[in-house]
Amino acid sequence: MRVLVTRPAAEADSLAAVLRRLGHEPILCPLLDIRRLQPAIDLTGVQALLFSSGAGIRAFAEINPERALPALTVGEASAEIARLLGFRAVASADGDSAALAALAIARLDPKRGAVLHASGVDIAGDAGGTLSARGFDYRRVIVYEATPAKAISPTAEGAVRAGAFEAVLFFSPRTVDTFVSLVNKAGLADRCRAATAFCLSAAVAAAAATLPWRSVRAAPTPDQPALLALLAAQDR
């Protein structure tokens, strides 16, 4: 299938490679622009790092050389990024913000130090509230900002305009909102009628349902392997 990939550029490239191995034709359509920030990061008393996105891992790695602290990631795709960047003790929650908090609670002891969450300006869920309620010293440092793209990439716009795609992958409501806004602005909403929107969660699917897709499907669990399995099932 020809698949629109809506992840930010860095994550889009790695996902596109996976799609090619699965026999699909990826069409890059990054909808969020990542601007890395340079905050001071104090790791005094920190026992582990939390990452709720691949962008957070990449930004932290550019700012700070620490790689020995345990790195807990929201999913396996972000865990792989952490390993590639040299983090030595990586564990994946294989889910969402709630799963990440649950992993931290299962693996860590509040008495052994703080947990530091390196994130973007906007985050989904309330991992911090969950961890604080369980007695953890939760610290959050904002290492990047994600802003909506001002236009769909020329390649993606050409594919949408021609109806030359069968699927699109959405990972967040914010990404969907950006796509919907840009497609409506370009007058291309009707061009989505022959394609299926594959969504990371029910919340993402609800946002996607504002366009006239052939169908909208939500992964049974909020992780990339489940989303790709959904795509594979559609392809059979």
The CA distances from residue 88 to 45, 62, 91, 96, in Å, are 19, 16, 10, 22
118-165 confidence digits (pLDDT tens): 999 988 889 999 999 999 999 999 999 989 999 999 999 999 999 999
More confident residue, 68 or 12: 68
The whole-angstrom separation of Cα 198 and Cα 196 is 6
Instruction: Please tell me the predicted confidence (pLDDT) of residue 9.
Output: 83
How would residue 12 be classed by pLDDT, with cut points 50, 70 and 90? Answer: confident
Task: Report the Cα 204 to chain-centroid distance in Å.
Answer: 12
Task: Report the Cα 3 to chain-centroid distance in Å.
Answer: 17
26-74 confidence digits (pLDDT tens): 999 999 888 999 888 999 999 999 999 989 999 999 999 999 999 999 9
76-131 confidence digits (pLDDT tens): 888 999 999 999 999 999 888 999 999 999 999 999 999 999 999 988 889 999 99
Instruction: Please tell me the predicted confidence (pLDDT) of residue 224.
Output: 86
* pTM, rounded to two decimals: 0.83
Give the type of residue at 218: A
Contact between residue 152 and residue 128 where contact means Cβ atoms under 8 Å apart: no
Range 196-215 average pLDDT? 94
Structural domains in the chain, sorted by start: 2-31+149-235 (3.40.50.10090), 37-147 (3.40.50.10090)
How would residue 236 be classed by pLDDT, with cut points 50, 70 and 90? Answer: low
The pair of three-digit structure tokens given for residue 15, joined into one six-digit string: 């996902």
Instruction: Please tell me the predicted confidence (pLDDT) of residue 96.
Output: 87
DSSP track, 91-120: EE-SS-HHHHHHHHHHH--GGG-EEEEEEE
Instruction: Please tell me the predicted confidence (pLDDT) of residue 235.
Output: 64
Give the type of residue at 168: V
Count CA atoms closer than 13 A to 124's CA, side-chain side: 19
Q: How many C-beta atoms surround the C-beta of residue 233 within 10 A?
A: 9
Sign of CA dihedral 187, 200, 224, 88: positive
Count CA atoms closer than 13 A to 160's CA, side-chain side: 28
The secondary element (H helix, E strand) that includes residue 227 is helix 224-235
Residue at token pair 């309330």:
126
Beta strands 90-92; 114-120: pairing state: unpaired
Measured at the alpha carbon of residue 33, what is the angle toward residues 201 and 18, in degrees to the nearest 5?
55
